């Protein structure tokens, strides 16, 4: 066996070894929430996960800026220009959730605005901003993919379904889709970091799968939520979706994760563009074929 063969074999096996350790931890977390339902109701797990993700994003942004050619003062200005509105967004949604702003039955229903407005406003900015593009060029493509390993915590929907408090019509596609996206985040990120030949195609497919998962979950969630937009009345009411702490998932985690997917796709496209037209054409061909 040559050295190259040994390295390749190790690279292929490494991400699955990571999952070998991750899966028992997630199983323990889900089991704990199932057997101790008061834990989830307290909001402590949601607060811990949300703050950890927030810290990871703002720290990752700073590390990416340090890889750019910007002067230190300019780096700080760009970092603050992105981190401050992002943090204020989280604080505003969190405060609204605690105060019952997204409670089912409110007129007008504000949860759809919380989901769609940040995406409608944020996507054009993130796709057109030259400074954001510079940051993406400096950041390894694996970071934005691996970050979304937190999607495994979407398995909490399956816990609610198992306990009979969340309807299966929503919990099963949302929970399973989130967990698949989260579990595949680390292998795909590892392949990107190791420059595996099919890594870019895998990353495209992973991003699109994650976006489709949100499309299905949000569509079903809005269709069964009590209120003027309700189209389906499930056997189990989905009232908890608009209450704290569960509402933080659709009101903040979903739109912020959609924006991360958009950034990842833009970054992958830019990474291919700088290596020449043939690679860029292959990227665009792969992207169009995945969407089709």
Residue pLDDT, tens place only, 166-194: 899 999 999 999 999 999 999 899 888 88
Query: Do 148 and 210 meet the contact criterion of CB atoms below 8 Å apart?
Result: yes
Decide which of 234 and 56 is more confident. 56
Convert the pLDDT of each residue in 86-112 to its tens digit: 999 999 999 999 998 988 777 788 889
Distances 246 to 47, 53, 117, 156, 268 between C-alpha atoms, Å: 11, 16, 19, 9, 32
> Phi/psi at 243 (nearest 5 deg)?
-110, 150
Report the chain's mean pLDDT, rounded to a whole number: 83
Residue 239 token pair: 């009232």
Q: How far is CA 182 from its chain centroid?
A: 8
Query: Do 148 and 260 meet the contact criterion of CB atoms below 8 Å apart?
Result: yes
Candidates 211, 49, 248; CA nearest to 123 is 211
Residue 180 token pair: 């698949």
Candidates 69, 62, 109; CA nearest to 221 is 109
Convert the pLDDT of each residue in 5-58 to its tens digit: 333 333 444 556 666 677 888 888 888 888 988 887 777 888 888 899 999 999
Decide which of 226 and 29 is more confident. 29
**What is the end-to-end Cα distance of the chain in Å, rounded?**
41
Can you tell me which residue has the tokens 């209450």? Answer: 243
Distances 276 to 84, 87, 174, 281 between C-alpha atoms, Å: 36, 37, 38, 9
**Residue-level pLDDT at 146:** 93
Domains in the chain: boundaries: 10-291
**Residue-level pLDDT at 246:** 86
Alpha-carbon distance 230 to 101, whole Å? 18
Which of 128-132, 253-257, 267-271 ranks highest by mean pLDDT? 253-257
Alpha-carbon distance 286 to 269, whole Å? 11
The reported pTM is 0.85
- Return the percentage of the chain with pLDDT > 90, whole number: 50
Alpha-carbon distance 40 to 36, whole Å? 8
**Residue-level pLDDT at 69:** 85
Query: Do 248 and 97 meet the contact criterion of CB atoms below 8 Å apart?
Result: yes
Residue 139 token pair: 């950041």
Inform me whether the pLDDT recorded for 148 exceeds 50: yes
For 57-124, the DSSP string reads: HHHHHHHHHHTSS--HHHHHHHHHHHHHHHHHHHHHHHHHHHTTTT-TT-SS--HHHHHHHHHHHHHH
């Amino acid at each position: 066996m040559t050295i190259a063969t040994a390295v390749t074999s190790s690279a292929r096996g490494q991400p699955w070894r990571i999952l070998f350790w991750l899966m028992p931890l997630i199983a323990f977390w889900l089991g704990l929430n199932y057997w101790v339902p008061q834990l989830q109701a307290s909001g402590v797990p949601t607060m811990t996960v949300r703050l950890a993700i927030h810290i990871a994003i703002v720290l990752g942004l700073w590390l990416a800026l340090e890889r750019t050619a910007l002067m230190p003062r300019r780096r700080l200005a760009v970092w603050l220009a992105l981190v401050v509105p992002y943090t204020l967004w989280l604080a505003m949604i969190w405060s609204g959730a605690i105060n019952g702003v997204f409670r089912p039955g409110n007129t007008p229903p504000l949860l759809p605005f919380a989901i769609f407005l940040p995406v409608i406003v944020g996507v054009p900015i993130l796709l057109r901003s030259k400074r954001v593009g510079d940051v993406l060029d400096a950041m390894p493509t694996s970071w934005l993919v691996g970050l979304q390993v937190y999607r495994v915590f979407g398995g909490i929907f399956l816990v609610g379904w198992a306990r009979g408090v969340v309807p299966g019509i929503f919990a099963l596609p949302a929970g399973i889709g989130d967990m698949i996206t989260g579990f595949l985040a680390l292998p795909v990120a590892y392949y990107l970091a190791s420059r595996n030949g099919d890594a870019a195609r895998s990353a495209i497919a992973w991003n699109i799968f994650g976006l489709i998962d949100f499309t299905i979950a949000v569509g079903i969630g809005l269709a069964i939520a009590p209120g003027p937009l309700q189209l389906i009345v499930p056997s189990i009411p989905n009232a908890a979706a608009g209450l704290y702490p569960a509402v933080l998932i659709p009101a903040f985690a979903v739109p912020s994760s959609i924006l991360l997917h958009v950034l990842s796709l833009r970054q992958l496209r830019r990474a291919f563009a700088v290596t020449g037209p043939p690679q860029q054409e292959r990227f665009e061909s792969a992207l169009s074929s995945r969407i089709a």
